[in-house]
Amino acid sequence: MKFQLSAALVGLAATVVSAQDIQSGPFTLHIKGTKSNTEIDGYAVSCHAGAAIEGLCYAEGVAVPSNSITYYFNYTGYNQVGDDQVGSLIWNEPYTDENGNPASVEQEMGLVYQPNSNVAAPLFGFSQDIFSVGFDSEGELFGYDYYDDAKFVAGQPPTDYTPKAYYQWAVCWQYFTGYYYQSVAWVQNGAPHNPTCEPVVITKVDI
């Protein structure tokens, strides 16, 4: 009962405050490999992955400002890990409106999972399945969760709902929505099932 109540409250809070998001940005996302011999040093770029769907691809080198590498962060102020806000990563999808003028629409980042892998691919689209993320005091992007099923006990609902930051980013060759890209990945737990993955840190660079 306690769990159901708190879950209902979280849902209610999300509904009530969604119209009052606070937005930060724009920024680019620097991607750096963490292995000692890594060659990964570049930035994130939105890459075509279907009609109005983009992946979060990896590009080598130094970012040249453009819309495809510019991101924003929306948060409500009601959810934090320590002092760090939790919210969603946003990219502006450009399109041509009915009068032929350039327009754009905000897309929030979600994750696409594969049944036989522990590696998920971030995707910007119109899914309601948003991946909650945040930036710590060093500007490092983290993934958010508030319970840990490794601590579950049969028949006893969890009691610890402490918000936590997880750093499980990688750059991998990934296949999603019919495209094969070297792109940002979220390794759900343990060693990545995909052998092309390299662990990375992703840091926000204000522009």
Ligand X SMILES: *[C@@H]1O[C@H](CO)[C@@H](O)[C@H](O)[C@H]1NC(C)=O
Q: Does 54 bind ligand X (CB under 6 A)?
A: no
In terms of CB distance, is 68 or 92 closer to ligand X? 92
- How distant, in Å, are the alpha carbons of 14, 73, 207 from that of 26? 23, 8, 6
In terms of CB distance, is 79 or 182 closer to ligand X? 79
Q: Which of 49, 56, 90, 184 binds ligand X (CB under 6 A)?
A: 90
Least Å distance between CB 126 and ligand X? 10
Least Å distance between CB 110 and ligand X? 12
Q: Does 74 bind ligand X (CB under 6 A)?
A: yes
Cα gap 93→58, rounded to integer Å: 18
Angle subtended at Cα 66 by Cα 196 and Cα 45, rounded to the nearest 5 degrees: 15
Q: Does 108 bind ligand X (CB under 6 A)?
A: yes
User: How does strand 133-135 pair with strand 102-112?
Assistant: unpaired
Q: Does 106 bind ligand X (CB under 6 A)?
A: yes
Cα gap 29→201, rounded to integer Å: 10
Q: Does 140 bind ligand X (CB under 6 A)?
A: no
What is the CB neighbour count within 10 angstroms for residue 94?
A: 11
The binding site for ligand X (CB under 6 A) comprises 21, 23, 74, 90, 106, 108
